[in-house]
Amino acid sequence: MVFYMPGRTESQSESSADLTPRQIVHELDRFIVGQSRAKRAVAIALRNRVRRRRLPEAMAEEVLPKNILMIGPTGVGKTEIARRLARLAGSPFLKVEASKFTEVGYVGRDVESMVRDLVEIGIDMVRQERREQVRSQAGQAVRARLLDLLLPERPRSTRSADASAREREREEQEGWERSRENLGRALDAGELDERTVEVSTVGQQNPGLRIFTPAGMEELDMNLKDMLPGLFQAKPRLRQMTIGEARDVLQREEEDKRIDPDQLSREAIRRVEESGILFIDEMDKVAGREGGHGPDVSREGVQRDLLPIVEGTLVNTKYGMVRTDYVLFIAAGAFHVSKPSDLIPEMQGRFPIRVELDALGRAELVSILTEPESSLVRQYQELLRVEGVELDFREDGIAAIAAAAALVNETTENIGARRLHTIMEKLLDEVSFAGSELAGRRVVIDESYVRERLDEIAGNTDLSRYIL
């Protein structure tokens, strides 16, 4: 699975440079409960990037990021910590699963594809920032194009020596300008959004030929536009659409005209190289000693293919060569069966910071339900408030929800905080189904309400395995 992280704006990225490790941990505390050791480790790693940028160039070249290995069961916040850190830093962020990659020569994804995917995220981030910068200018051009569609330029008559003809021409021109001003006001007010017009738009360019290579069946983009410039050129075409639809289409088109693709690529590659974060999940799935046969034959091979990427190498992408020397790698895994020491020695050495995340108990589950800004309790309250239903979660009700989640985690598979999602869905099933039928009512979620709906299932191990 590939997880894409939306970008932040440049100003947000720059403001993160002023955050101390203590402030970074405080920001993470707003969304993630506990796990102070992991938060400290990522906060120091982020701050070290800022410190490195302030070093003399010769020294900065020698300072490499200290990669982090997070060890802990599923559902304790490993991915969320890395995701929130990337959002805080405004960095290109990609989450991949190590188990989806295979040694070169086997069927599966080539490890270099993670770097190419990260560059694509960097391209999207920078493109969004550039769009913001040119949005106002592009909006003026869109307005002018829409007015031209509604009221085309009137033909100018040749200058006449006749004074009455010149006066008539002047009056007609003034009338045309007044009509255009009136249309402009109506357009700005949205009064014409439902009117249909015929718009000439440029279709999306064909990105090239996509092929599957024998080495890992990796999907590659081969850019043929340079070899056959006429073949892949986007051609304009006429489309019928409303003014409201045309405004969005033309806005994107005008913004793209004002973005230099070469500058876009250079900035995206620079940002990936200097501040990119690659989160490699399920690292424990590729750890373990080789048996030389069976489905695990390429485990060590995946590690050896990952090693150059983590150590620092050049990866060829369609936007140019990308160095991975200063990309921060955060690996994670439960390591229930295998141990970090089962990784090949070279890989162990590339993750010098190891952090163990704590399993979640009843107290932590209560905090997760109530403390974060977008906690599960608040999410369900806001969802049902839309339909006029007021959810009133009492303290004893929240404690009972946490107790039920902890009990099921203990008696079945421990999936950490993810169990709360299942519990909450089951608990609020009736209310969510009724929805607007309960408009104007207050639903109290107390201990008795929770026990009535969950006790029988949570206490029955066989039932809870299938339902919770």
Question: For the segment 22-69, what is each residue's pLDDT rounded down to a tens digit?
Answer: 999 998 888 888 888 989 998 998 888 888 888 898 898 888 888 999
Length of the chain equals 468
Q: CA of 29: how far to CAs of 320, 380, 381, in Å?
A: 38, 21, 22
**How confident is the model over 386-400, as a mean pLDDT?**
90
Question: What pLDDT score was predicted for residue 12?
Answer: 44
Residues 89 and 275: beta-carbon distance below 8 Å:
yes
Dihedral pair phi/psi, residue 240, rounded to 5°: -90, 125
Q: β-pairing, 196-202 with 236-242? A: antiparallel
Question: Listing from the earlier edge strand, what are the strands of the sheet with 353-356?
Answer: 3-4, 93-97, 277-281, 328-333, 68-71, 353-356
**How confident is the model over 263-270, as a mean pLDDT?**
92
- Of the candidates 208, 242, 239, the one whose C-alpha atom is nearest the C-alpha of residue 222 is 208
Q: How confident is the model at residue 322 (pLDDT cuts 50, 70, 90)?
A: very high
Domains of the chain: 3-124+264-356 (3.40.50.300), 135-154+163-259 (no CATH), 362-467 (1.10.8.60)
Mean pLDDT, rounded, of the chain: 80
Contacts with 199 (C-beta within 8 Å, 6 or more apart), sequence order: 149, 238, 239, 240, 241, 246, 249, 250
Question: What pLDDT score was predicted for residue 467?
Answer: 56
pTM: 0.77
What confidence tens digit (pLDDT) does each residue in 195-250 have? Answer: 888 887 776 554 445 554 443 334 444 455 555 555 556 667 788 888 888 888 88
Q: CA of 195: how far to CAs of 151, 186, 245, 307, 418, in Å?
A: 13, 12, 10, 59, 48
Rounded Cα distance between 443 and 450, Å, is 12
The DSSP 8-state label assigned to residue 335 in this structure reads -
Question: What pLDDT score was predicted for residue 218?
Answer: 42
Question: What pLDDT score was predicted for residue 268?
Answer: 92
Rounded Cα distance between 201 and 82, Å, is 41
Question: What pLDDT score was predicted for residue 14?
Answer: 44
Pull the structure tokens for residue 236. 């304009």
Question: What pLDDT score was predicted for residue 266?
Answer: 92
> Of 104-113, 215-224, 332-341, which gets the smallest average pLDDT?
215-224
**How confident is the model over 242-263, as a mean pLDDT?**
88
Rounded Cα distance between 261 and 73, Å, is 43
Q: How confident is the model at residue 265 (pLDDT cuts 50, 70, 90)?
A: very high
What confidence tens digit (pLDDT) does each residue in 149-165 have? Answer: 887 877 766 665 577 77
Spell out where 273-333 has E strands: 277-281, 314-317, 320-323, 328-333
Question: What pLDDT score was predicted for residue 11?
Answer: 41
Question: What pLDDT score was predicted for residue 204?
Answer: 58
Asked if pLDDT for residue 5 goes beyond 50, the answer is no
Question: What pLDDT score was predicted for residue 290?
Answer: 53
Rounded Cα distance between 396 and 398, Å, is 6
What confidence tens digit (pLDDT) does each residue in 401-444 have? Answer: 998 888 888 888 788 888 888 889 888 888 888 888 888 888 89
- Of the candidates 11, 254, 13, 14, the one whose C-alpha atom is nearest the C-alpha of residue 134 is 254
Tell me, what amino acid is at 291? G
End-to-end CA distance of the chain: 24
Question: What pLDDT score was predicted for residue 15?
Answer: 54
Token pair 């009221």 in the structure block, residue:
151
Q: β-pairing, 209-212 with 219-222? A: antiparallel
Asked if pLDDT for residue 104 goes beyond 70, the answer is no
The residue that leads in pLDDT, 465 or 124, is: 124
> Of 141-145, 157-161, 173-177, which gets the smallest average pLDDT?
157-161
Rounded Cα distance between 196 and 190, Å, is 13
Residues 70 and 32: beta-carbon distance below 8 Å:
no
Question: What pLDDT score was predicted for residue 227?
Answer: 57
Q: β-pairing, 442-445 with 390-393? A: parallel
Q: How confident is the model at residue 169 (pLDDT cuts 50, 70, 90)?
A: confident
Question: What pLDDT score was predicted for residue 32?
Answer: 85
Q: Which residues pair with 200 in a beta bridge?
A: 238
Tell me, what amino acid is at 434? A
Question: What pLDDT score was predicted for residue 436?
Answer: 83
Asked if pLDDT for residue 1 goes beyond 70, the answer is no
What confidence tens digit (pLDDT) does each residue in 119-140 have? Answer: 999 999 999 999 999 998 888 8
